[in-house]
Amino acid sequence: MTIRLVTFDALHTLLTPRLPIYIQYSQTFAPYLGVLEPGLLRQSFKVALTQVQKDKPAYQGESGAEGWWSEVIKRTAIGAGANPQAVDSSLPQIVPSLMERFSSREGYKLFHDSLPVLRRLHQMNIRTALISNTDTRMRSVLKDLEIAPYLDPILLSEEVGIEKPDVGVFRLAFGTQLDPIKLQGVHVGDELESDYHGARAAGMHALLLRRAGPEGDGERKEEGEDLQGVQVVNDLWGVVKWVEQQTTGSC
């Protein structure tokens, strides 16, 4: 069997926040809301993000991604103990600042193995693509980090209107050239349900990436998740090794 396509998740797979998101939020909040307790801010962001993702999947809403993130930011600040009136009055300054910060290398950085592995896969004549549950700003991030030319297509949930684990978003990556039923593609990501099980349901191979690092920053683990039978790699070079094994028939 020959693997012809490798699709990647973005956050915590190819790239990661330059500083933990709650710290970057704290830095932006401070001039307007004062210094919020880091532990509360971290937990509040996680809760707010989960709630808004559930209420408005794929950035649904009249005001698009900026309105979507405005709701996350507001809930995060209030949940961490900020004064609600102060939050409302300062959102017109805070939201654009955070939106801009997370549109470039100011907010994100590549993992050390991301660019070398993308280059290696291209040398092997393997297509690489991106499937991410994020908004259109990810395009400018990928361009600024200089990996956009290696990823085709780039499928972002805000643009396509569906998000992982929906099988439809994975099948969009194949276009008309590849047949997912023949298992010619593999998806790599750090989320068990969205990345691993979503790709498997779409007829792809899947590799769950679990990088070593602080809980919630370098890796994603949900309480009670079952990894029995799940193929796990610890870095992106593990993806190259797996692809090579498939081609040689040694796996």
Q: CATH classification of 5-17+107-248 is 3.30.365.10, yes or no? A: no
Give the SS3 label for residue 235.
coil
Query: pTM here?
Result: 0.91
Give CA torsion, residues 40, 44, 47, 53, to 10 deg: -160
Whether residue 154 contacts residue 145, with contact meaning beta carbons closer than 8 Å, is answered with: no
For 101-138, how does the pLDDT look when each residue is reduced to its tens digit (9 = 90+)? Answer: 999 999 999 999 999 999 999 999 999 999 999 999 99
DSSP code string of 50-81:
HHHHHHSGGG-STTHHHHHHHHHHHHHHHHTT
Expressed in angstroms, the distance from the first to the final Cα of the chain is 10
CA triplet 57, 194, 197: central angle to 5 degrees?
Answer: 140
- CATH fold of the domain at 21-101: DNA polymerase; domain 1 (1.10.150)
Q: By C-alpha distance, which of 132, 140, 159, 186 is closest to 11?
A: 132
- Residue 200, H or E segment: helix 198-201
Cα–Cα separations (whole angstroms), residue 18 to 74, 110, 235: 22, 9, 18
pLDDT confidence band for 180 (50 / 70 / 90): low
Q: What average pLDDT score do residues 139-160 get?
A: 97
Give the Cβ contact number of residue 30 at 10 Å. Answer: 11
**What long-range pairs does 155-160 form, CB within 8 A, spacing at least 24?**
155/129, 155/130, 155/131, 156/130, 156/132, 157/57, 157/58, 157/59, 157/132, 157/133, 158/58, 158/59, 158/64, 158/65, 158/134, 160/58
Whole-number average pLDDT of the chain: 91
Distance CA 200, CA 152 (A): 21
Band of residue 10 on the pLDDT scale cut at 50, 70, 90: very high
Give the pLDDT confidence score for residue 217 in this predicted structure: 47
Say how many C-beta atoms besides its own lie within 10 A of residue 64's C-beta. Answer: 13
Task: Give residue limits of the domains in the chain.
Answer: 5-17+107-248, 21-101
Are 169 and 131 in contact, with CB atoms under 8 Å apart?
yes
Residue 221 has pLDDT above 70, yes or no: no
Determine contact, residues 194/157, Cβ cutoff 8 Å.
Answer: no
Mean pLDDT to the nearest integer, 28-39: 95
Euclidean distance between CA atoms 112 and 114, whole angstroms: 6
153: nearest Cα among 6, 12, 16, 15: 6
Band of the pLDDT at 251, cuts 50, 70, 90?
Answer: very low
Q: How many Cα atoms within 13 Å fall on the side-chain side of residue 220?
A: 16
pLDDT for 1 = 74
In the predicted model, what is the mean pLDDT of residues 8-26? 95
